A = this chain, B = another copy of it.
């Protein structure tokens, strides 16, 4: 799918405000409401727009800690990796997980209310992940930037 300037503008706006009224979005991108809505639907159909979500304030929910966990597995066989990844997918507490090149096999990010809560998560979730050889947790002191919006090529800083 090809994205022209207007599509990019639509995506930029929707990444900031996913509930903007179609009429207002049309204004901002300089299109009539119906043309704007058609493009938006096309972007949804194409899967460029994956979903619309509410983002919650982590601190106000009492989740004051972010922890990165580097993990090495006992082996590199498909079975070991797949078991591990399935378990990761089932855990509600694991916010992000990437298979990595380099030192660690996986890196994951979890959030916790406080050290006690992290202990619970460690016990109930992390320690139960299968095939783990070594685990190294690193605590974040403070989040500096937390973005969900990708830059569009026309507005790269």
Contact = CB atoms under 8 A, between A and B. Distances in A.
Nearest to A63: B150
Interface residues of A, number: 65
Contacts of A47: 57, 60
A53 B55 contact: yes
Nearest to A141: B99
* Integer count of this chain's copies in the complex: 2
Interface in A1-28: 1, 11, 14-19
A95 interface: yes
Given A68-B107, A90-B157, A147-B95, A139 B100 contact: yes
Given A50-B55, A99-B143, A100-B141, 19 more contacts: A15-B53, A18-B52, A18-B54, A46-B60, A48-B56, A52-B52, A68-B107, A89-B144, A92-B156, A95-B145, A95-B150, A96-B145, A97-B145, A98-B141, A99-B140, A101-B138, A101-B140, A106-B144, A107-B138
